[in-house]
Structure 1
Amino acid sequence: MSGAGPRQPRRLALGVLLAAAALAIAMFPFRSTWWGGWILAVAEAGVIGGLADWFAVTALFRHPLGLPIPRTALIPANWELMAARVGTMVGSRVLTKDYVAQEIARVDISSLIARGATSISSRDLDAATQELARWLAAELSPKMAGDLITRLRDLVLARPLAPVLAGLLEVARRNEWDRRVVTAGAGALAEALDRPAFRATAGDLVDDLLARYREGMSLAPRLWIGVARLLGLIDRERMLAAIQSGLRQVVEEPDHPVRQRLAAAVEELPGRLRADARLVARVEAAKRDLLATPVATRVLEDAAAAVHRTVLADLERPDSEVRAWIVERLERARRALADDEELRRELDRWAKSRVLEAVERHHQRLAEFIENGVLALGPDGAVRLIEEHAGDDLQYIRVNGTVVGGLAGGLLHAIRLVLGLV
């Protein structure tokens, strides 16, 4: 034990033991008198009781006086068994499934949601969004954004795209996200085309698409395209400049024809993606052609980095559109939670059912979790932990041993004196 707190009970126990020993020495010359013999018996029995309890307490943690006495240093010798039994006891007798279920049922999550929803203001939501933006700026690097896009690409390649795309398009149209996505995406791509590395990558993609397009043509169209390229009519830089100019026009003009065509396509496309087998096959083929190439990977990574910079820059602005949009949605959710009692009850039931499912699934691992936590302490750590939390009480056991031993010795000596008189 360490610190003034743990040392004080130990000093008290040692002081009581030394006082009993000093009293025994002082009374030894008077042992022939009835009162001297009685006090000596009290003192001697107190010393014996104090020493016995000192031995018992010390033997829990270490070898008394450093002697390898059998059945001492019990905790260091048995800490692995102790860890297993503590884990089993807590898992099977303390935090049982029924007990955890009862405690979860007592928690009124709906009331907690109501209080939280009424106590949060729009200013709080805006401040939280700003903090989130700062955290994203610090933690989410462009490389991480690129890695995230790469993983998303692998996921898209592994699953059918058409039904997912249909659902996303319907949700986007209902919430008018399609317009924001077009603006943000076109702006990010136009900005990215100003950077030489991305422009070179986009040029490689244009060349790759042109090569694929030519492969599907007959001889005459392929010949004319080759002549046009020789004359400079089909030039890589000219095509990239046209693409960049068109993207900027899409960003600047709310009624741009591309926007209108995209809006009309988004409106009719979900139904076709679910019913038109040929379109579904074309979507899957296009998905593989566009995403399964190294060039597409580089384009996606560069686009992710550009979107990452654009969004973070917007979030840091005082009049951020992205932050205003997020705060507006959060405010709608807050009002719905504050006003709709049935919604809160549904969330209460859902949260409790998910927690109970997790308890049912992982309860048997609770004992293992606790056992591993105790094992991680090691024998010395287990000794320190118990001494820190139970050391004071164990030192008072030594005090009680000295006092109780003395009282027992005095009582026995008094009985002997009474029997001697009889």
Structure 2
Amino acid sequence: MTLPATFIIDSPGDAIRAAELRRVKLLATSVLAATFATFLAARALLPLHPAFGFIAAFAEAATIGGLADWYAVVALFKRPLGLPIPHTAIIQSNQHRIADKLGEFIEKHFLEAAPVEAKLRQIDFGAFIADWLRDKKRSEDLARFALRLLPEAVAATETSGLMTFVSRRITAQLMAIDLAPLAAGTLRAFVKEGRHSGLLDDILRAVHQTMTQAETMAMIREKIRAELPTLLKLYRADKFLVNKIVASATAFFEEVRNDPAHPFRGEFDRMVLSFVDRLGTDPSYAERIQGLKRDLLARPEVAGLARHIWENTRSFFERSASGETQVLEQYLVRMFVKAGEALAGDAELRTEINQGLVAVLRTVIAEQKSGVSTFISDQVKSWDMGQLISLIEINIGRDLQYIRFNGSLIGGLAGLALYTLEYLLRLL
């Protein structure tokens, strides 16, 4: 398996570092060759003057030090000269062990509960969310993103059977509601607030308007005329009686409407309260209401209405997602911006958000840290080590090459010191 694309050496920076590495390698090799040549020359000139002995000692030790450090640097990444020497190509030979130890190290030292929580508490998630939402451009992007997801979410809802499940659950919940006590409580509050008095006035006004209509008066007159003796019909007593009935009813209605303490209002109050009490306690009323509810929910018009509402809602979402209408997008943008402004001004809420997110993330990290360790280990094991080593060499190889310079210098100085000590001991 090859390395991820991010490990491929093709960036301008990598090219520059690779060229610098080649330059430093050539320089280090040149120094090694120069010290070896100096050693040979000094050994050849040693009979001419004792000073060449010091030069030869320095050059010899510098050559040995340079070779030793060259071997150490090369052995870290590959086999020197391609020879199967033990304990060389250290990184490649220990790929799996390095992978396991890297994952274990990260799990123990980076994902421990205490440092993770301390780091999370340094982050003001609430302020970040508030600032993000208050930015109108970001809120617009978020609104458009949400709208783009809506059609897919609607389609998934329809094809997954979720709509059927939700519809059944809603119907079941509606059927489980006992409407009788609920209606009784609502009516009792209605009466307690005195709103039934206005209802009575509206009823009286509607009855009065109905009675004074020509069609209604004609119908009443026909009923009365059918019951009157023939003699009274000749004197048109039916018209007189209708007018008297309408006039009396009008006077009564006006009297009740204008007198808040009218006895009829008291009777109406007692009648309403009696109905409310029976509605809340009488099983027959409860059964009637339940039957009415069942009949209502079973009617095809209700299902058709629900489908019509859903179709309109889906069409509105689709038009909003396509940009045909901006109503929903503008509403979402305003909602997000206002939410950000409200969050920015509510320090207590931001604190609660921070605490909540810290608790959630801490738990998630604690539960998944072993998985993270395994993931890192598996990824490192799957890498192409040849490419990885090339990447490491390009990034730190230049500094490693300076070890060769240091080896030559330190080795040379050590050899010079030993030769000087030997020379002084020979003079004694």
Residue 137 (structure 2) aligns with? 124
AA aligned to 1:24 is F
Task: Tell me the secondary structure at the aligned position of residue 17 of structure 1.
Answer: helix
Pick from 38, 41, 51: which aligns with 1:26? 41
How far apart, in 1, do the equivalents of 2:162 and 2:345 lie? Answer: 40
8 Å CA contact retained: 2:126, 2:351? yes
Residue 321 (structure 1) aligns with? 327
Pick from 50, 60, 68: which aligns with 2:66? 50
Residues 39 and 349 of structure 1: is their aligned pair in 2 closer, same or farther, counting only changes over 3 Å? same
How far apart, in 2, do the equivalents of 1:391 and 1:279 lie? Answer: 86
**What number of residue pairs does the alignment pair up?**
296
Residue 424 (structure 2) aligns with? 418
Pick from 316, 321, 324: which aligns with 1:312? 321
Of the two, which has the highest radius of gyration? 2
Residue 404 (structure 1) aligns with? 410
Residue 237 (structure 2) aligns with? none
TM-score calculated relative to the size of structure 1:
0.60
How far apart, in 2, do the equivalents of 1:407 and 1:69 lie? Answer: 29
* Offset at residue 356 of structure 1 (A): 0.9
* Offset at residue 368 of structure 1 (A): 1.0
Report 1:1-400 matches (<5 A).
3-32=18-47, 33-113=49-129, 115-116=131-132, 120-121=134-135, 123-124=136-137, 127-129=140-142, 131-132=144-145, 136=148, 145-151=154-160, 153=162, 156=165, 160-161=169-170, 306=315, 309-313=318-322, 315-317=323-325, 320-400=326-406
Residues 125 and 367 of structure 1: is their aligned pair in 2 closer, same or farther, counting only changes over 3 Å? closer
CA deviations on 1:352-404 (whole Å, 9 max, x unpaired) are: 11111111211222211221221232322332243233212221111111111
* Offset at residue 61 of structure 1 (A): 1.4
* Offset at residue 327 of structure 1 (A): 1.6
AA aligned to 1:332 is K
Task: Tell me the secondary structure at the aligned position of residue 363 of structure 1.
Answer: helix
* Offset at residue 143 of structure 1 (A): 7.2
* Offset at residue 307 of structure 1 (A): 5.2
RMSD: 3.9
8 Å CA contact retained: 1:44, 1:406? yes
CA deviations on 1:291-332 (whole Å, 9 max, x unpaired) are: xxxxxx9x999989745532223x355xx1111211221122
8 Å CA contact retained: 1:149, 1:304? no
AA aligned to 2:116 is V
8 Å CA contact retained: 1:113, 1:344? no
8 Å CA contact retained: 1:162, 1:280? no
Task: Tell me the secondary structure at the aligned position of residue 384 of structure 2.
Answer: helix
* Offset at residue 111 of structure 1 (A): 4.0
* Offset at residue 47 of structure 1 (A): 0.7
How far apart, in 1, do the equivalents of 2:22 and 2:374 lie? Answer: 35
* Offset at residue 9 of structure 1 (A): 2.5
How far apart, in 1, do the equivalents of 2:50 and 2:70 lie? Answer: 30
* Offset at residue 155 of structure 1 (A): 8.2
8 Å CA contact retained: 1:160, 1:284? no
Q: Which runs of 5+ in 1 are unaligned?
A: 167-275, 291-296
Residues 304 and 382 of structure 1: is their aligned pair in 2 closer, same or farther, counting only changes over 3 Å? farther
How far apart, in 1, do the equivalents of 2:39 and 2:391 lie? Answer: 37
AA aligned to 1:39 is I
